[in-house]
Structure 1
């Protein structure tokens, strides 16, 4: 069977200034306050950055949208990801809190896996 692919050229932006720290942040072995590039976020202090960075998945997705041609971000619960492609097997997503090289940029999510998490809400642009 031939795989039909729909992909949009969308840049990836993480919700943390140092995307390479995301595995440690998810594991709980590091804090956003430890991010050496926290100042790049515009926060006035490490504490302000540590408060807001875990809550900026939507802002990171909007940043990706702003720099893209066309895209459609689905959301579930309190987390937002950006769909940048689709085919018969599933979606390609940019996940602002995904693991670099694993589940962050252009991560494949099968339709079955998506069904387990998708809340039936989203934003369609285009």
Structure 2
């Protein structure tokens, strides 16, 4: 069933949500200036800066969990737990690979009792059908979706939390939106969303569903 957007709290993937323009401009140097970095659960500002650009999926999960339980899980705590299942892989050179969907579904099922299903090879037009059964859909989109009026430069590479989808369009929270309008309860027509959508993601369910 669709989840009313007003009931879903918004969280950025960095602790200071207003810092997105700085992060886009300065990268990790900006993240090291985030005065709220400790709230992420990181042990140091360097750990925070290394992970913050990778945890859009954990920000989506934080929103789901806060909606369900009212508890605000630190994103780095979620990321470490997900990494134990293989949802993130830290390479020898320090880079981080993920989110990897299949391990993520096991993580949320075993740690939080949330059923999840990897969805691939779909279009934006399929989202209303998916959201008729699922509570949420974590969708892979191009990060440039924060500027939907521009021509999409590609598809995929970033995750947003879709809470509603109808024939008219989708409503979603974007963990890396650059301002309030691009962050929370963003509404786009299906065809516009589809230009950024990679056709894959993870559907989550609070109740058992047929696989």
TM-score by length of 2: 0.53
SS of residue in 1 equivalent to 2:12: coil
RMSD: 1.9
2: CA distance, partners of 1:11 / 1:105: 9
Verify: 1:111 aligned to 2:190, yes or no: yes
Equivalent runs, 1:47-86 vs 2, <5 Å = 47-68=46-67, 70-76=135-141, 77-86=156-165
Residues 28-67 of structure 1: CA deviation (Å, up to 9, x unaligned) = 3861111011111121221111111111101000111222
Residue in structure 2 matched with residue 95 of structure 1 by the alignment: 174
Could you say if the C-alpha distance between residues 38 and 12 of structure 1 is closer, same or farther in structure 2, counting changes exceeding 3 Å? same
Match of 1:34 in 2: 33
Higher RCO (C-alpha under 8 Å, 6+ residues apart): 1
Following TM superposition, the consecutive aligned residue runs of length 4 or more in structure 1 with deviations greater than 3 angstroms are 27-30
In structure 1, list runs of 5 or more residues that go unmatched.
Answer: 1-5
Q: Is this contact kept in 2: 1:7–1:86, CA < 8 A?
A: no
Offset from partner CA, 1:65-109 (integer Å, 9 cap, x none)? 222352222113331100012233211110001123121010112
| Structure 2 unaligned blocks of 5 or more | 69-134, 142-155, 206-211
| 8 Å contact kept, 2:57–2:138 | no
Matched position secondary structure for 1:80 = strand
Match of 2:187, SS?
strand
Counterpart of 2:20 in 1: which secondary structure? helix
Structure 1 stretch displaced more, 70-79 or 58-67: 70-79
User: Which has the larger displacement, 62-71 or 91-100?
Assistant: 62-71
- Secondary structure of the residue aligned to 1:103 is helix
Structure of higher CA gyration radius: 2
1:13 maps to which of 11, 14, 17: 11
Distance 1:87 1:27 in 2: 35
